[in-house]
Structures are given as C-alpha cells and as structure tokens.
C-alpha cells in the first residue's frame, strides 16, 4: 500500500515530504488542543506539588525514574504530550532540571531559540538544561579528513561517508538545524543562561543528569552541552 501511494503521489507530482510534513502538522494541531484540556493543567499542577520536577523533552522511547517524559505524541512513557515548538505550560522558576537527547536538531533555528527561552523561563535559579545533539561538524571534519574509521564507529549503517554525513544532517527531512558548541553559546546567552558548558557522555556535575545513552555509537556521534541558569535569575 505504501509503495502504491508513493507511486500515485509521484505520478501527480506531489512531493512525499510535503505530505509527511502536512500529516505532522495535523498531528501537532491535535496535540495543541489536547494540551488545553483542563485535566492536562491539573496534571501539571500535581507534578509541581510533588517535586522535584525534571523534564525530559523529546523523550521518545526512553523512560527514566524521577523524570517526566515530554514529547509530541502519545505513548506510555510520555507523561505530557506537547507541541514543543511553543510555550511550555509551566510557571516561571518551577522546574529543577531539563534534559533532551537528539531532540533539539528537530527544531528550526527560530523554534530552537524559542525553546531555549522557554526552558530558561521555567527553570529555577541555578537550574540546568543538558542537551545532546548529533555532532554534524564532527562528521564534516571526518569527511574532509577522510577518516573512514570514524564513520565505522559513529554511523556503521552507511555505505559511504557522504551517506552518513547527509543522514545525520538531514534525517529524511526531520532534522531542521545544525548545532555546535559556539552556536549553543550564542543561543544560550540570547535566552539568558549564565553559562554554557561543553560536556562528555554521562559526565555532568549533577548526578541526576547522567542519563545519556551509553552505547559507543551514540557517544561517538553526539555533542554534549549544559546550559546553566544564574542564581536569582528572574
């Protein structure tokens, strides 16, 4: 059925990526309406009363004890379904820690900046946001250096280095941004964070943030950064 649909769309000249994006936007419209329901607000208030509040954005299939899974779809491990491109339904200075792994690259640069602004707003003073993203520039450097061993470690499924570089940067059109440490510094300062620190896998100063996926391939392909809110920040 999928092949027949693709053949029909190709025949009509309708790009498959347009259809995929349209379906995605319809789904997110439903998520936005769902988030407005009263019981969703009650659920968030209940989480705030329990404390501490630790949010895992773009949680996907992951689930960590003591963390609230937040994503743009419904699943057992997703406690709160949200369109993460918009305002986060948490009061100012109400969240202890935030985390995301291979999520922020799915937002466009303006959407990513808005997300960081929102995370800064909801974090308590001295709160942290640990972010893990694909290190696309590491792939580009390895490509220019003809470092085939790196590609075997970081993206063993690709048949050649350019395929790996394109896949990490594009991911079937789902990746919307390329981020490096300097870009995180720029975006973090624009959002109001007091400091942005380069990190490595599971080496956070905060034990609760040592939840990075530990398989060697994921570590090889990833960039690790922590954005830290200042003390007493409004």
pLDDT reported for residue 4: 73
Q: Are residues 181 and 80 in the same domain?
A: yes
106 belongs to a structural domain: yes
8 band by pLDDT with thresholds 50, 70 and 90: confident
26 belongs to a structural domain: yes
pLDDT reported for residue 60: 92
Q: In CATH, what number is assigned to the domain containing residue 224?
A: 3.40.50.150
Q: Tell whether the model's pLDDT for residue 18 goes beyond 80.
A: no
86 belongs to a structural domain: yes
Q: Are residues 10 and 107 in the same domain?
A: no
Segment 112-124 shows an average pLDDT of 98
Q: Which of the pair, 176 or 172, is modelled with greater confidence?
A: 176
Q: Are residues 119 and 157 in the same domain?
A: yes
Give CA–CA dist 122/96, Å, rounded.
9
Total structural domains within the chain: 2
Q: Are residues 123 and 224 in the same domain?
A: yes
Give CA–CA dist 27/13, Å, rounded.
24
Q: Are residues 19 and 108 in the same domain?
A: no
pLDDT reported for residue 15: 73
21 band by pLDDT with thresholds 50, 70 and 90: confident
**Whole-structure pTM value:** 0.91
CA distances in angstroms from 76 to 56, 61, 71, 73, 126, listed in the order given: 14, 9, 11, 10, 31
| SS3 label, residue 96 | strand
Q: What pairs with residue 70 in β-bridges?
A: 57, 80
133 belongs to a structural domain: yes
Asked whether 67 and 41 are in contact (CB, 8 A), the reply is: no
210 belongs to a structural domain: yes
pLDDT reported for residue 116: 98
Q: Tell whether the model's pLDDT for residue 136 goes beyond 80.
A: yes
22 band by pLDDT with thresholds 50, 70 and 90: confident
pLDDT reported for residue 1: 64
42 belongs to a structural domain: no
Q: Are residues 132 and 160 in the same domain?
A: yes
The angle that helices 109-122 and 181-191 make with each other, rounded to 10 degrees, is: 50
Q: Are residues 3 and 117 in the same domain?
A: no
Q: Are residues 108 and 14 in the same domain?
A: no
pLDDT reported for residue 3: 66
Q: Are residues 79 and 4 in the same domain?
A: no
Domain that holds residue 24: 1-36
Segment 51-72 shows an average pLDDT of 95
11 band by pLDDT with thresholds 50, 70 and 90: confident
The residue assigned the tokens 């995929």 is 20
Q: Are residues 104 and 26 in the same domain?
A: no
Task: Give the helix/strand (H/E) hosting 224.
Answer: strand 222-228
Q: Are residues 1 and 86 in the same domain?
A: no
């Amino acid at each position: 059925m999928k092949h027949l649909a693709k053949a029909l769309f190709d025949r009509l000249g309708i790009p498959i990526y347009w259809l995929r994006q349209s379906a995605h936007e319809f789904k997110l419209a439903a998520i936005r309406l769902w988030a407005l329901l009263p019981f969703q607000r009650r659920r968030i208030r209940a989480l705030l009363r329990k404390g501490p509040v630790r949010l895992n954005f773009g949680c996907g299939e992951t689930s960590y004890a003591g963390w609230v899974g937040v994503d743009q779809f419904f699943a057992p491990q997703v406690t709160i379904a949200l369109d993460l491109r918009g305002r986060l339904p948490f009061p100012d200075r109400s969240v202890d820690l935030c985390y995301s792994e291979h999520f922020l690259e799915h937002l466009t640069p303006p959407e990513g900046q808005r997300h960081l602004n929102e995370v800064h707003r909801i974090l308590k003073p001295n709160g942290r946001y640990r972010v893990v993203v694909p290190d696309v520039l590491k792939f580009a450097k390895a490509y220019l250096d003809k470092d085939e061993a790196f590609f075997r470690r970081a993206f063993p499924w690709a048949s050649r280095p350019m395929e790996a570089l394109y896949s990490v940067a594009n991911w079937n059109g789902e990746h919307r941004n390329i981020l490096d440490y300097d870009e995180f510094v720029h975006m973090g300062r624009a959002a109001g964070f007091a400091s942005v620190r380069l990190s490595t896998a599971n080496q956070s100063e905060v034990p609760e943030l040592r939840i990075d996926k530990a398989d060697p391939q994921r570590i090889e392909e990833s960039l690790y950064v922590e954005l830290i809110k200042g003390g007493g920040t409004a």
